[in-house]
Amino acid sequence: MKYYFSTTIKNESFDTVKEKVILALKKEGFGVLTNINIKQTFKKKLDVDFKPYEILGACNPDFAYKALQAEDKIGIMLPCNVIIEQDEDESITVAVVDPIASMGAVENPNLEGIAQEVQQKLKRIIDLLKN
């Protein structure tokens, strides 16, 4: 089972794509709670060079609340992760988690509808970035 949705963007800078991702997330009701800069972290902690790669922890408070009401330990699966990575050809790939794949492991039927709604929103974000 594929656990993410993605798109690749050419001829735009990493920072420009990141701004577009954040705007697309906002448009769908998500905020960015965390931003993990893998490139900087690996350089600082391991003294290794790595490609530009960031993990955004995105959260839609309404859906997070509903999910936590249905399953109080679901916070382990939150927030929804979005990655932005620069490829060897300088293009930028954006990938979002498929909440149906991740929440399917929980086996709580009360989460199915929530996961489907969040999946639709995250797919729309990828579609917005394609245009």
For residue 130, count CB atoms less than 10 angstroms from its CB and return exposed for 0-12, middle for 13-18, buried for 19 or more.
Answer: exposed
Cis peptide before 52 (omega within 30 of 0): no
For residue 33, count CB atoms less than 10 angstroms from its CB and return exposed for 0-12, middle for 13-18, buried for 19 or more.
Answer: middle
Can you give the pTM of this predicted structure? Answer: 0.93
In whole angstroms, what is the distance from residue 51 CA to residue 86 CA? 6
Query: In sequence order, what E strands does 10-91 have?
Result: 31-37, 53-59, 80-86
Q: What is the pLDDT of residue 81?
A: 95
Tell me the two tokens of residue 100: 């149906």
In whole angstroms, what is the distance from residue 13 CA to residue 29 CA? 25
Q: At 1, is the pLDDT very low, low, confident or very high (cuts 50, 70, 90)?
A: low
Q: What is the pLDDT of residue 105?
A: 81
Q: What is the pLDDT of residue 107?
A: 85
Q: Is the Cβ–Cβ distance between 49 and 43 less than 8 Å?
A: yes
The per-residue pLDDT for range 98-126, each reduced to its tens digit, is 999 888 788 899 999 999 999 999 999 99
Provide the residue range defining the domain that includes 13. 4-130
Tell me the two tokens of residue 55: 């993990």
The structural domain count of the chain equals 1
The per-residue pLDDT for range 38-94, each reduced to its tens digit, is 999 999 999 999 999 999 999 999 999 999 999 999 999 899 999 999 999 999 999
CATH number of residue 119's parent domain: 3.30.310.70
